Amino acid sequence: MAFVDLTWRTFRPAEGYYTSEVRSPRPLPVRTFLPVGYEPRYPYPLLIFLHGHGGNEEQILNLAPRLSRRNYISIGLRGPLALGRRKGGEFGYSWGDGASTSLIEEYLLRAIEQTRLNYHIHSERIYLAGFAEGATLAYRLALTFPEKLGGIISFSGAMPRHDRPLFRYPALRTLRVFIAHGIADPVVPLSLAKEDHRLLYTAGVQVEMHTYPTTHKLHPYMLRDVNRWVIQRCSEE
């Protein structure tokens, strides 16, 4: 499925959160965060946030304004497997064990297409930003169709180990990867992230890795560094 340039709307919606849905392959939510001072003639980078196990699209998209209130359009997607209510009363979801990969791929592509229909998105600045299980999914999706994405942002995650797609050369080398990982992560050991970094670097991918004094949690400096990294990638193009 190829992306085409679509006509974006010329009005200036207010900064904030908006909820919509895609209807193929089944109704699934798309949570959107629009930056302050949205300018319809400027092609924005698009950040697609993928939650961790037990999270949801609203929870993960709360990272968007913490990352930047001005620089990006961001969307959050929801895993197809419902896990029930979390301790706070919200429903939690998972991306599953790989059985729903085709559904998730279609969901992602439809969400990108819909967002590009409504807002001005730069076609070469589309990044998947995943936390933990969401980061593993981001790797899997980006390795499946690297030509459709600008890069991957992995927060406390690792590449899939058992069903990882084959590296596709030379398309893979157009990807940029940012790895952010806690030095004392007990869930996804730092050694796995380091292994991913070595593998991607050996494959010729432009990959950058930073470690932080935290466990399996987001450190505030992770968001600062990701914002700097994406802006730098945009200035190089």
At 213-232, the pLDDT tens digits run: 999 999 999 999 999 999 99
> Domains plus CATH for the chain?
16-236 (3.40.50.1820)
Maximum separation of any 2 CA atoms in the chain, in Å: 48
- Summarize the confidence of residues 44-58 as an average pLDDT: 97
The residues with which 154 forms a beta bridge, in sequence order, are: 130, 179
Amino acid identity, residue 148? K
Kindly tell me the burial class for residue 105, based on how many C-beta atoms sit within 10 Å of its own C-beta (0-12, 13-18, 19 or more). middle
Per residue in 57-109, pLDDT (tens digit) is: 999 999 999 999 999 999 999 999 999 988 778 899 999 876 688 899 999 99
SS3 helix, strand, coil % of the chain, rounded to 5?
Answer: 30, 30, 40
Question: What is the model's pTM?
Answer: 0.92
